[in-house]
Structure 1
Amino acid sequence: MRLFYLKFLVLLISSISIFSACKGLSDVAFKKSIIGSGWANNSINTVIFRQNAVTTHRNTQFVAYYDAQSYVTLAKRTLPAGDWEVHKTQYTGNTADAHNVISIAVDGDGYLHISWDHHDNELRYAVSVEPLSLVLGAKKQMTGIEEGKVSYPQFYNLKNSGDLIFMYRSGQSGRGILVINSYDIKTGVWSQLHQNLIDGEGKRNAYWQAYVDKQGTIHVSWVWRETWDVSTNHDIAYAKSTDGGKTWTRSTGEAYELPITQETAENAWEIPQNSSLINQTSMTTDDAGNPYIANYWNVEGKTQYQIVYLENGIWKKQHTSFRDSGFDLGGGGTKKIPISRPEIFVQKQKSEKTVYLLFRDDLRESKITIAYKNLASQKDWKLQDLTDISVGDWEPNFDKQLYKQTGKVHIFQQEVIQVDGEGLIDKKATPVQLLELDNLPLN
């Protein structure tokens, strides 16, 4: 009988740890799934511009991260609750620089594509040896064009075809161009759609984010930066493509003459330099394909999350106003910032369309927080913490492919510490895990 009660107690404790009852989470069902241990001496595993840290192909979910020895590590499981298979690959990265992230995607045939370890250096790219495999083949080129000074590699899945696009910056901060490649699964060949989609003209560069909506339209938004200094970020611009990235238009449908420059770009919102405007955030769309862009900058001395969105052909802005402190951004390198850059997604349930932000804020003890609001209502934003402990200098990544398929939100979670300007802290590896939201809070 004593053994029975002991087993029951272990089971009860395990259930509580998986199905959390954190403060403020009474209407959010979630669980955590631990994968392995990851490098935590800086924020390289958790910076927001990883596209993707976690992704799903049919019912197989993949995760990538650097382990404590800087090896590129891959993991997969069968959804909804299969065991994780973890594989340390033959590749390593310069984890001392938090720019050198790992980005992954799975094509329509199930092959895993991966790019890693970039900050103005030659392309590092490999593909799994078989569909759904964690074993990678040799490094190889994509197109061989403009692949010598790569930064910010990002994969995006195109709708239905199973093809991929790949975006990266060629050049340096303050003087770079945006390159976009296309992968055809029928031929297994990459081609270059645009050697220079957005041109900094040797004077600036675009820091972008992108999203492929349910109709297959590719949306890109960006801030301009004039120099290496983050304080020179300004404005939010926008473009879209309805033909897989071949041609690009403004929100009105008016065609761009390529490459897009500062003079020809459509400004979704004008923001001056020295506004603490951050770069490389996130964007999404609603079911109708209207873009929503998340960012933050200073307004009246306070640093606030802002949402710029298109409604009835007009650009609008939602000022969240739930923060009561400010800070000033300046300098170069990976910054230690009191708040994370925000992730954004939109969900329509019944007749209501709710906008969600994922972020971390030191005013909330650096926990993972979700904020949500129906922008059409006059109600205030609601905030709920999804963790009961700090995640350090974590920034959000979630499984966008799974979200598009099921509406479930699986968040990449790891506690990390970032020292300002590419510094390192001596920190033991920390757990890499997914925080799985089975349902979302409603207004």
Structure 2
Amino acid sequence: MKFPVPKLLTLLCLLLALVSCRSEKSTLMQVGTGWAQNSVNTTIFRKNSVVSDQNRQYAAYYDESGHVVIAHRNLDSEDWTAERTQLTGNMKDAHNSICIAVDGDGFLHIAWDHHNTSLHYAKSTKPGSLEFAEIPSMIGSEEHSVTYPEFYSIAGGDLIFLYRDGGSGRGNLVMNRYHTASKTWSRVQTKLIDGENKRNSYWQAYVDPNSESIYLSWTWRETWDVSTNHDICFAKSSDGGKSWVRSDGTPYVLPITAATAEYAALIPQNSELINQTSMCSDSDGNPYIASYWTPAGSKVPQFHLVHYDGYAWHNSQITKRETPFSLSGTGTKKIPISRPQILADSTGDTTKAYLIFRDIERDNRPSMAYCDDISSPEWKFKDLAEIDTDQWEPSYDLPLWSREKKLALFIQRTAQGDGYASEGQEKTVELPPQPVYVLQWQDSR
């Protein structure tokens, strides 16, 4: 049978569309409804907003009353059940995010409501339970000025807990470890990175759940003003955080300071460099660090990838944005782009990389830049959902990605005021509670 040319072209387009659809799997699941007048539910430093073990997945967020809600589902089902806990927090401060983790025995751990405040930590009363017992301390020291708490899974089912002790411009990085065998916490580092009472590090980590390897990257900030962010630094541990080395294996003398840190990228102050880098590693242990800043000679911030190939650091620009903005000021900022997440997949013949972000130039949708071979990077772009997320930043289920290379993104439309309304009181925006989703995506090419 012969088809007319127009009909043949139509069939070819349909065939290409079907092939494209089969190359990836995407599911958008509604979880519940959450507070949305600032970005506390969707800030970048939530580790984790969504987390899973082999059978069950959990998501956490504040509702409009300030209660912590824990939602859960079986991984073989798309049906979520949301339950309000007895835990409450000041959701009007966008720093006070909720972080959750599941240990190797199935206990759920939660840290919430921190911005230079005493430690708020709880643990489920039994594996799989959503009833929590609040625990006043992990170690008993350096727990009275906590900010940016983050959980990470490590080999054997233990957990790593990182947080800043101190304030903006004068803080230190603390590291604890939870031992599943004894069900106790121990201090690994009291002052891993020392701000010397002059500055503080804004860090992110990647922890290999199958080994004792921890990768750490950070920017420095000299004062409370965001514009004083500068440079990207790096350190690695192969023994669960006890000792640390540079990318070439040279050991650090702890604590790490501005004078002794390894600089993966030199970026001056007033470059619109955002705090909190994002990072991961490939199967060879090579680190990838993502952030955004304004390149020299430009006025427009761009997303960048800084990565180490085993021999040297490389810095490449991912985007060609056209919208300028300034980060100068204090408090949580209203910014036309999100901080990004970077993921790597080395299961195929090449190492693929995925940058997850939001950009006003893409109508604030949850978007992805992807590269099929990081050794010769060519970035392509796509939207993962047609949702205006306003001031959303991406966070995802780290254990699920590590196990199955499935991306489970926490998504919610959230607003954000710019800076402080008054001393100690961040601005919020009138916005009714918004649906909370988990978007699951998998590249099956």
- The reply to whether TM is greater than 0.5 is yes
- Pairing 1:437–2:441 present: yes
Distance in structure 2 (CA, Å) of the matches to 1:261 and 1:52? 28
- Pairing 1:319–2:306 present: no
Distance 1:364 1:350, change over 3 A: same
Give the equivalent residue in structure 1 for 2:179: 184
Matches within 5 A, 1:400-439: 400-421=398-419, 422-439=426-443
Give the equivalent residue in structure 1 for 2:332: 334
> Partner amino acid for 2:32?
G
Give the equivalent residue in structure 1 for 2:40: 44
Distance in structure 2 (CA, Å) of the matches to 1:331 and 1:26? 46
Q: Give, in angstroms, the shift of residue 59 of structure 1.
A: 1.4
Matches within 5 A, 1:160-179: 161-179=156-174
> Partner amino acid for 2:35?
W
Give the equivalent residue in structure 1 for 2:376: 377
From 197, 203, 214, the equivalent of 1:202 is 197
Is the 2:165–2:174 contact (alpha carbons within 8 Å) kept by the matching residues of 1?
yes
Distance in structure 2 (CA, Å) of the matches to 1:257 and 1:116? 32
> Partner amino acid for 1:435?
L
Q: Give, in angstroms, the shift of residue 250 of structure 1.
A: 1.0
**Superposition RMSD on alpha carbons, in Å?**
1.5
Q: Give, in angstroms, the shift of residue 212 of structure 1.
A: 1.1
> Partner amino acid for 1:375?
I
Give the equivalent residue in structure 2 for 1:98: 94
Q: Give, in angstroms, the shift of residue 236 of structure 1.
A: 0.5
Is the 1:215–1:289 contact (alpha carbons within 8 Å) kept by the matching residues of 2?
no
> Which SS does the other structure have where 1:138 is aligned?
strand
Distance in structure 2 (CA, Å) of the matches to 1:248 and 1:375? 26
> Which SS does the other structure have where 1:37 is aligned?
strand
Taking structure 1 as the reference length, what is the TM-score of the superposition?
Answer: 0.91
- Pairing 1:151–2:155 present: no
- For this pair of structures, how many residues does the alignment match? 417
Is the 2:217–2:277 contact (alpha carbons within 8 Å) kept by the matching residues of 1?
no
Taking structure 2 as the reference length, what is the TM-score of the superposition?
Answer: 0.91
Give aligned-pair identity as a percent. 49
Distance in structure 2 (CA, Å) of the matches to 1:376 and 1:431? 39
Distance 1:271 1:85, change over 3 A: same
Deviations 1:246-269 (A, max 9, x none): 111111111111111000111111
From 124, 127, 139, the equivalent of 1:128 is 124
Distance in structure 2 (CA, Å) of the matches to 1:65 and 1:25? 32
Matches within 5 A, 1:70-85: 70-81=66-77, 83-85=79-81
147-156 or 322-331: bigger deviation:
322-331
Distance in structure 2 (CA, Å) of the matches to 1:430 and 1:350? 38
Distance in structure 2 (CA, Å) of the matches to 1:154 and 1:416? 21
Q: Give, in angstroms, the shift of residue 27 of structure 1.
A: 4.6
Give the equivalent residue in structure 1 for 2:12: none
Distance in structure 1 (CA, Å) of the matches to 2:62 and 2:264? 36
Is the 1:336–1:419 contact (alpha carbons within 8 Å) kept by the matching residues of 2?
yes
Distance in structure 1 (CA, Å) of the matches to 2:381 and 2:21? 10
Distance in structure 2 (CA, Å) of the matches to 1:259 and 1:346? 29
Deviations 1:66-104 (A, max 9, x none): 011110111111112153222211111101100000001
Distance in structure 2 (CA, Å) of the matches to 1:295 and 1:234? 12
Give the equivalent residue in structure 2 for 1:109: 105
Distance 1:112 1:53, change over 3 A: same
> Partner amino acid for 2:175?
I
Distance in structure 2 (CA, Å) of the matches to 1:349 and 1:257? 35
> Partner amino acid for 1:219?
Y
Distance in structure 1 (CA, Å) of the matches to 2:389 and 2:377? 32
> Which SS does the other structure have where 1:327 is aligned?
coil
Distance in structure 2 (CA, Å) of the matches to 1:277 and 1:35? 33
